[in-house]
Amino acid sequence: MIIAFSILWPLAIGAAYSPSSRKVVRKMLNMAEVTPEDRVYDLGSGDGRIVTEAVQRYNALGVGVEADPLRVLWSKANLLKLGLQGQVKIIWGNLFHQNLSQATVVILFLWGRTNEKLKKKLQEELKPGTRVVSYIWKFKGWTPSKVDEKERIYLYIIGESDKPLNNNTKKYS
């Protein structure tokens, strides 16, 4: 029963567990130009690898939001083992019900339709200049500021990328 819930609940929200490679995680964080002043949110944080990397490599703060209670427990145990529990917070819950206003960077590896459902929330809650990095799926109607075509990573900047007729996309590799 618990395992079925752990699988089906995240699917109902809009994503399935599919961990990003360490290489892709580093590319996403590098593309966002993460610094120690950043608060990196990973929506659908899975095993917590993105927020852990943001803390370990960039000395940022991290917040992971995950719907699967087993992955939340796994993430928290790993953070405890690494001694990072003071720098990373993992929240068990629905990403649509979390306040994102403290984020300076948001990382997403969700489904395209989930990104579309998130657009309004991101525009309403995130401050201008907040960087949104999406792996695989683009935001329809938004123009990415940077694109890694090989890895299919898209960087958007709130207040710029989400405005119509922005054609300043930079290639990133």
Domain boundaries, the chain: 2-171
Q: How far apart are CA 100 and CA 94, in angstroms?
A: 12
Q: pLDDT of 125-134, one tens digit each?
A: 999 999 999 9
Q: How far apart are CA 97 and CA 82, in angstroms?
A: 28
What pairing do the DSSP bridges indicate for beta strands 153-157 and 146-148?
A: antiparallel
Residue 151 · residue 24 · CB < 8 Å: yes
Q: pLDDT of 34-53, one tens digit each?
A: 999 999 999 999 999 999 99
Residue 165 predicted with pLDDT over 90 = no
The domain 2-171 is classified under which CATH number: 3.40.50.10090, 3.40.50.150, 3.40.50.720, 2.40.440.10?
A: 3.40.50.150
Give percent above pLDDT 90 in the chain: 75
Q: What does each C-alpha distance from 95 to 18, 28, 108, 121, 161 come to in angstroms?
A: 17, 20, 11, 10, 22
Banded pLDDT at 169 (limits 50, 70, 90): low
Q: What is the mean pLDDT of the chain?
A: 88
User: What is the model's pTM?
Assistant: 0.86
Q: pLDDT of 70-102, one tens digit each?
A: 899 999 999 999 999 899 999 999 999 999 999
DSSP designation for 161: T
pLDDT of residue 92: 94
Banded pLDDT at 162 (limits 50, 70, 90): confident
pLDDT of residue 19: 74
